[in-house]
Homo-oligomer: A and B are copies of this chain.
Amino acid sequence: MNDKVKLSGRPVISSTGMFAPPDLITNDELVASFNRWVDRYNAENAAAIAAGEMEPKQHSSAEFIEKASGIRQRHVLSGESLLDIDVMAPRWRERADDELSITAEMSLNAARQALAKIGRDPAEIDAVIYSNSSPERQYPAVAIEVQQALGIDGFAFDMNVGCSSTTFAVLTAADYVRAGHARSVLVVTPEIPSAHINWQDRDSHFIFGDFAVAVLVEDAAIAPPSHWEIIGSKMKTVFSNNIRNNFGIINRGSPDGAGAGDKMFVQQGRKVFKEVVPMVSALIVEECGKLGIEPSSLRRIWLHQANSGMNRLIAQRIFGHEASADESPTVLDRFGNTAAAGSIIAFTEHSDDLQPGDTCLICSFGAGYSVGAVFIRKVG
């Protein structure tokens, strides 16, 4: 790229990339393992259960999981250990400091795909934002490790706002572009929710999948002719404890705390459903109004991929009718809830057919609560 190119200050999404870990667990496999563990648990505690001193654990079923969530399978970093009823937790080799970190590697896999699609030279990128709900360590920021691995000269940092981590990072990158502080910003979101959940909990063990996405946010002046102009945006947060994970370095001060050793994902699923659906729908309709866009005229929306029931309701409120798969595509069935990566997976897999002038929406929502809405229009 010619350093002398006159920048426009108009941010666009010019490319995205994805990485799915090779291990795949279907609902049938997950349930078979879970039910074996339930049977063993109930057998080992048969006397106490018979005496009414303990509750027996209940079997699960692939049908229950699909009906509750829309999920049929998920990719994970360590499938074997998750299905091993003597482990039922992630297991990977701890890497030395001079090796590439696990989430940096996931990020690079997604980032290289995004760069290759448009032939972007890392020398043209000025910043890296590593934004996810699974930050790998305290410091140095993993973003800087990704920056170094790609040979990017500039700045990098980590950020976290649960499942809106990617959209908030994209919109932050867009403001760096608007301010002239970056020509091109690489956003990477490696998610490892398999490390967050209790794989012995019937109500949540099936929810998540590991995944990484990358997004290039660039000044229109350097982007390839075919890109997505960011025409509107909204970041919104309203505090809630209904999706929470207390794991953190603060726990060092309370080694005997009530939840010691068990700081994992917890969710009040019904409350989330009831509170988030109207919040997201109203925000989208309101922002459409500000942009002069009739909500039903949106060509396609890529919603956060957490629950098919939520997405059906939100899409219905936007379009005024039951949305088709063409209007509101899902990838939940194949990848599960991939935290902040979900809406970008849906966008990446279901956007090549769109035409110049098509106005669309990427919208995340989740823990926080947070909502990140990115209105985009196809160019070129």
Q: A: which residues have CB within 8 A of B?
A: 77-78, 89-94, 97-98, 101-103, 127, 133-141, 143-145, 147-148, 154-162, 164-165, 168, 171-172, 174-176, 178-179, 181, 192, 195-196, 233, 235-241, 243-254, 257-260, 263, 265, 367-370
Contacts and interface: CB of A to CB of B under 8 A. Distances in A.
A135 B135 contact: yes
A15 to B, nearest CB: 22
A250 B168 contact: no
Given A161-B156, A176-B175, A92 B254 contact: yes
Given A77-B253, A133-B139, A137-B248, 15 more contacts: A135-B135, A136-B249, A137-B244, A137-B263, A138-B162, A139-B162, A140-B370, A141-B160, A141-B162, A147-B237, A157-B237, A172-B172, A179-B179, A196-B249, A247-B249
A174 to B, nearest CB: 8
Contact of A369 (B140, B250, B251): B140
A195 B137 contact: no
In order of increasing CB-CB distance, the 10 nearest A-B pairs are: A94-B257, A148-B239, A155-B235, A157-B161, A94-B254, A138-B245, A139-B367, A90-B253, A139-B162, A137-B248
A233 B245 CA distance: 35
Contact of A175 (B97, B147, B178): B178
Instruction: Kindly name the residue among A235, A243, A251, A260 whose own CB sees the greatest number of chain B CB atoms within 10 A.
Output: A235
Contacts of A89: 252-253
B245 A139 contact: yes
B156 A159 contact: no
Contacts of A143: 161, 237
A247 B92 CA distance: 15
Contacts of A145: 239
Given A139-B243, A147-B237, A258-B94, A250 B155 contact: no
